[in-house]
C-alpha cells in the first residue's frame, strides 16, 4: 500500500483556511465575531471545501497586538465565547471533515500576564526568571526590531528594578525565557490542554525569535539551549499526546536557515512551514511579468523528508512582507502594487490584500491563485481571499487587512446585525465594499472568484498526489511563463503553466522522458488533450494571464476522471 493512497500525514493533503473569530461572524449582534458565529459558518467552510481551520489567537488579551498579546494561555477571551463554545466548534468542524488548529504564541506574553506582573516587581520575585533580564541596556541591532514604527530597541527598562527586559515585538510583549524548565512545563501543559479539547495542532508564532543564546547579553551565554532541539522536544511531546498533531511554524528566514527547523533527516522538528521565500519571489515575478524570480525560488526550495511539508500562501493577516528581497527588488514591488506611502509598512511590506494590489484585475487574481494551488505543498487561504476582499486603509497598521468577513450586501456586510459603527472594524467602502464584494452574491454566480477557488480546492482534493509531490522547474520559453512540474514518487506528473504577461504565449517546455504515446490532459480549463513529443517536449498556447494544469497521461493509465 502506498502511503499517499491513505489519509496518512493529513497536513500534506490539507487545504488550510485562516480565520480570526472576532471578524468572521457575529452570532449575538454585539458587532464582534464569536465562536458560536464561527460554528454557524462551518457549513460554509465545508462547502468551500477546506479541510483545516487555523484560528488566530482566541485567548484572553488586552488586544494591543490583536490577540498575539496573551494573558492566559488556557483561556478563551470573553468577547469570543466560552470553552464550551470552543469545544462545540471543534466538534462541529470535525463532523464536517474539518480539523481545527490554534495559533500558539510561545515566544512572549502580554505585559498584563500574571507571570510578568509578578516578575517585574523585584529581582527575586516569583516568575522573574521566566522572562529575560539584563542589568544594563544591551545594544539593539535595528534588524532585530520587528515593529520599527513603534519601537527602536528590543530592551525596555523596568523602573522598579532598574533592569531591562527583552521584547522582540512591542514592549508590551515581553519575551518568555523558554529555556526555563517552568516555562517549558507550562507550554507543554497548555499544548496538552488544547489537544485534549480536540485541536489537531498549532500554528507556532514567531519561531525564529525563540531564545537564542548568542542573541542575548553575555550573562546568558552560559545557557545551553538550542531552539530547534527544543522544538523537536515539543514535537515529540505533542505527537505522543496526539499521534498526528501538526506544528505549522512561522519561520520567515532564507531557505537554508529555515530548513533546519524541520528537524533532522527524519523531520522531527516542525512538520510544516510557510514558504516565505517563494511567496516574496512570486510578487517580484508578477511585478516584472517575468517568471525567473519565482522559478529561482522554487529551484532553491529545499527538498524535505516525506513527513514534512511546505505551506503555500499569497497573503496572510500581517503585512505582505518583502524582507527577503533586495532594496531595489522591494521597490519594484512597491511601485507595482503599493506605491503610496500609506500602503507600505515598516519599510518592508504592504498592508494590502491581493485584489486591490492587482487593480481589481480578475484574470490576474485567478492566475495567482492558480499558481498557489498548483504548487506542491499545502495551500493556506486567509479568510475573504475566496471572494476577493480588499483592505481598508483607514484601519491603522496591519489591521487594514483584518476587516470583517463580507457575507452579504447590507451595510454591516451580513457579518453582524449590529450597525456598522459597532463592528470590530470598519469594512472597506467603494469598489470593495460589502455591497459589491460578498459571499452571498458570489455563491449564486458560478463565474465568480468564489466558484473558481472552490474548484481549485476540489482539484486539490481530487488529486492528493499534488500534496505529496515535489516541484521541478524545467527550462521554458518565453520568460513570462512559469512552468513547473509536480511529480510524485510513482511517476504521477502534472505540468502547470502560468502566463504572467497580458500577451498570449506559445510555450516551449519539456516534461522530461515519457513513454511514447503519452499526452497531457487539461484539468482546469477545457479538458483538451495535448500530444507529448518523444523527448518529452511540448508546445502549448497559454493566453495572456492564462493558466493550465496539465496531467500527464501515460499509455495504460486509467482515464482522468
Q: Which residues bind ligand NOJ (CB under 6 A)?
A: 65, 68, 105, 169, 205-206, 250, 317-318
Q: Which is nearer to ligand NOJ, 128 or 317 (CB)?
A: 317
Kindly state the cell numbers that stand for 297: 525560488
489 annotated active-site: no
Minimum distance from CB of 105 to ligand NOJ (Å)? 5
- In a 10 Å sphere around its CB, with 0-12 CB exposed, 13-18 middle and 19+ buried, how is residue 257 labelled? exposed
Phi-psi region of 126 (alpha: psi -120 to 50; beta: other; left: phi over 0): beta
Q: Which is nearer to ligand NOJ, 81 or 349 (CB)?
A: 349
Residue 351's contacts (CB-CB under 8 Å, 6 or more residues apart) are: 319, 320, 343, 344, 345, 391, 393, 397, 398, 400, 401
Q: Which is nearer to ligand NOJ, 70 or 325 (CB)?
A: 70
Backbone angles phi, psi at 383, to 5 degrees: -45, 140
Minimum distance from CB of 173 to ligand NOJ (Å)? 6
Task: Tell me how far apart the alpha carbons of residues 393 and 408 are, in angstroms, rounded to a whole number.
Answer: 21
Task: Determine which one of 163, 205, 290, 318 is catalytic.
Answer: 205
The answer to whether residues 267 and 227 touch, using CB atoms and an 8 Å cutoff, is no
Q: Which is nearer to ligand NOJ, 46 or 399 (CB)?
A: 399
Task: Tell me how far apart the alpha carbons of residues 12 and 468 are, in angstroms, rounded to a whole number.
Answer: 6
Minimum distance from CB of 165 to ligand NOJ (Å)? 16
Minimum distance from CB of 247 to ligand NOJ (Å)? 15
Minimum distance from CB of 66 to ligand NOJ (Å)? 7
Kindly state the cell numbers that stand for 276: 516565505
Q: Which is nearer to ligand NOJ, 77 or 268 (CB)?
A: 77
439-445, long-range: CB < 8 A, 24+ apart: 439/44, 439/387, 439/405, 439/406, 439/407, 439/408, 439/414, 440/407, 440/408, 440/409, 440/414, 441/409, 442/387
488 annotated active-site: no
Task: Order the strands of the 344-345 sheet from edge to edge.
Answer: 320-321, 349-350, 344-345
Minimum distance from CB of 556 to ligand NOJ (Å)? 48
Residue of closest CB approach to ligand NOJ: 68
Task: Determine which one of 66, 103, 175, 250 is catalytic.
Answer: 250
Q: Which is nearer to ligand NOJ, 61 or 309 (CB)?
A: 61
Nearest to 424 by CA among 407, 390, 399, 387: 399
Which of the residues are catalytic?
Answer: 205, 250
Amino acid at each position: 500500500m502506498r502511503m499517499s493512497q491513505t489519509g496518512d500525514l493529513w497536513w500534506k493533503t490539507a487545504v488550510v483556511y485562516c480565520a480570526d473569530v472576532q471578524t468572521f461572524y457575529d452570532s449575538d449582534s454585539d458587532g464582534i465575531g464569536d465562536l458560536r458565529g464561527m460554528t454557524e459558518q462551518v457549513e460554509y467552510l465545508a462547502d468551500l471545501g477546506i479541510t483545516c481551520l487555523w484560528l488566530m489567537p482566541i485567548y484572553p488579551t488586552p488586544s494591543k497586538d490583536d490577540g498575539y498579546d496573551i494573558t492566559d494561555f488556557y483561556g478563551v477571551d470573553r468577547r469570543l465565547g466560552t470553552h464550551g463554545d470552543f469545544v462545540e466548534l471543534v466538534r462541529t468542524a470535525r463532523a464536517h471533515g474539518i480539523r481545527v488548529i490554534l495559533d500558539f504564541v510561545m515566544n512572549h506574553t502580554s505585559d498584563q500576564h500574571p507571570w510578568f506582573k509578578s516578575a517585574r516587581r523585584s529581582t527575586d520575585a516569583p516568575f522573574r526568571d521566566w522572562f529575560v533580564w539584563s542589568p544594563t541596556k544591551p545594544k539593539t541591532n535595528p534588524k532585530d526590531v520587528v515593529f520599527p514604527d513603534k519601537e527602536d530597541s528590543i530592551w525596555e527598562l523596568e523602573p522598579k528594578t532598574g533592569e531591562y527586559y527583552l521584547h522582540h515585538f512591542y514592549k508590551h510583549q515581553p519575551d518568555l525565557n523558554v529555556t526555563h524548565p517552568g516555562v517549558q512545563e507550562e507550554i507543554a501543559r497548555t499544548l496538552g490542554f488544547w489537544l485534549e479539547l480536540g485541536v489537531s495542532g498549532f500554528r507556532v508564532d514567531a519561531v525564529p525569535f525563540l531564545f537564542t543564546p548568542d542573541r542575548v547579553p553575555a550573562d546568558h551565554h552560559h545557557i545551553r539551549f538550542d531552539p530547534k532541539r527544543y522544538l523537536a522536544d515539543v514535537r515529540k511531546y505533542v505527537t505522543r499526546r496526539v499521534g498526528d498533531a501538526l506544528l505549522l511554524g512561522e519561520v520567515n528566514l532564507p531557505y537554508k536557515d529555515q530548513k533546519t527547523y524541520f528537524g533532522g533527516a527524519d523531520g522531527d522538528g516542525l512538520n510544516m512551514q510557510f514558504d516565505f521565500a517563494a511567496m516574496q519571489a512570486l510578487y517580484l515575478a508578477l511585478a516584472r511579468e517575468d517568471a525567473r524570480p519565482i522559478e529561482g525560488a522554487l529551484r532553491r526550495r529545499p527538498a524535505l523528508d516525506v513527513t514534512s511539508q511546505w505551506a503555500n500562501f499569497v497573503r496572510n493577516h500581517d503585512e505582505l512582507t518583502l524582507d527577503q528581497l533586495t532594496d531595489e527588488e522591494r521597490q519594484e514591488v512597491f511601485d507595482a502594487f503599493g506605491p503610496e506611502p500609506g500602503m507600505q509598512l515598516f519599510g518592508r511590506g504592504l498592508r494590502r490584500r491581493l485584489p486591490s494590489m492587482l487593480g481589481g484585475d480578475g484574470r490576474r487574481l485567478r492566475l495567482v491563485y492558480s499558481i498557489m494551488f498548483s504548487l506542491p505543498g499545502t495551500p493556506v487561504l486567509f479568510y475573504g481571499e475566496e471572494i476577493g476582499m480588499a483592505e481598508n486603509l483607514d484601519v491603522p497598521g496591519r489591521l487594514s487587512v483584518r476587516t470583517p468577513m463580507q457575507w452579504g450586501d447590507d451595510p454591516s456586510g451580513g457579518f453582524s446585525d449590529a450597525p456598522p459603527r459597532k463592528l470590530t472594524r470598519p469594512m472597506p467602502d467603494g469598489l470593495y465594499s460589502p455591497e459589491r464584494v460578498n459571499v452571498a452574491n458570489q455563491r449564486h454566480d458560478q463565474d465568480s472568484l468564489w466558484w473558481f477557488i472552490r474548484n481549485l480546492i476540489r482539484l486539490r482534493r481530487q488529486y492528493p498526489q499534488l500534496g505529496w509531490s515535489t516541484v521541478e522547474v524545467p527550462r521554458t520559453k518565453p520568460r513570462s511563463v512559469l512552468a513547473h512540474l509536480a511529480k510524485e514518487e510513482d511517476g504521477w506528473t502534472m505540468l502547470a503553466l502560468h502566463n504572467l504577461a497580458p500577451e498570449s504565449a506559445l510555450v516551449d517546455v519539456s516534461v522530461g522522458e515519457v513513454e511514447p504515446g503519452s499526452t497531457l490532459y487539461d484539468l482546469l480549463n477545457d479538458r483538451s488533450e495535448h500530444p507529448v513529443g518523444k523527448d518529452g517536449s511540448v508546445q502549448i498556447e497559454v493566453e495572456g494571464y492564462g493558466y493550465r494544469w496539465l496531467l500527464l497521461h501515460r499509455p495504460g493509465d486509467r482515464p482522468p476522471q
